[in-house]
Amino acid sequence: MSRQSDNSTQASGLLTPHPKAECTAEERAILLRLAHQSIESALEQRDISFDPPSPHLAEQRGAFTTLYLHRELRGCVGYVFPIASLYRTVAETARAAAFEDRRFHPVRPHEAPFLRVSLSILSLLAPIVAEDVVVGQHGLLVSHDMHRGLLLPQVPLEHGWNRETFLDETCRKAGLPANAWRHGAHLQAFTAEVFGEPETGNV
């Protein structure tokens, strides 16, 4: 579900309980439209420009693109770390969600018009202790040795998890024992600005 880079950016104190929306309504529309254009251009084997149309969308940010088809999850891929402009990141993760999520067969041309897109724009990662994790506000990245697992902030809300279950499940996502967060696994958190088109659900 995630594409991760070792060039991580860590910054304490960057997380706020209720992050202010960073993208304007116009920027949200641009990014959602870009996700569709990126998928359609790949299906048609043509190029599109990944050049950001504004300085804000040129900022390097992590992001996840989630696709739904008839209200069902159809793909989800993201960059945890800010390795490219937000504009390019959305374009690339949309294509990857459509064609490279191994849980699903690649999107077919007849499905593309019916896809619905949800975007999660990530804050920078910051170290966090378990007792400070707030369900529904923080996403988590758990790491230990070569193991890494990430869950977005909306995941525990969908499943009705409490904080400890959220921590346990993120450890399992990393291929670690559920209680690894109690025994030396490194915890990092992020917030996410989530927006999408009608008829999308949570992942």
Predicted model pTM: 0.77
Q: What is the pLDDT along the chain (203 residues), one digit of tens a residue?
A: 445 332 232 333 344 444 567 899 999 999 999 999 999 999 999 999 999 999 999 999 999 999 999 999 999 999 988 999 999 999 999 999 999 999 999 999 999 999 999 999 999 899 999 999 999 999 999 999 999 999 989 899 989 999 999 999 999 999 999 999 999 999 999 999 999 997 644 44
Residue 182 has a CB neighbour count (10 Å cut-off) of 13
Q: Which residues contact 33 (CB under 8 A, 6 or more apart)?
A: none
Q: Which residues contact 24 (CB under 8 A, 6 or more apart)?
A: none
**β-pair type (115-122, 72-79):** unpaired
Torsion on CA atoms 146, 152, 117, 19, rounded to nearest 10: -130
Q: Which residues contact 45 (CB under 8 A, 6 or more apart)?
A: none
C-beta of residue 77 within 8 angstroms of C-beta of residue 96: yes
Q: How far is CA 182 from CA 108, 131, 141, in A?
A: 44, 11, 14
Pairwise CA distance, residues 37 & 60, whole Å: 20
What domains appear along the chain, each with residue ranges and CATH number?
Answer: 23-122 (3.30.700.20), 126-190 (3.30.1490.150)
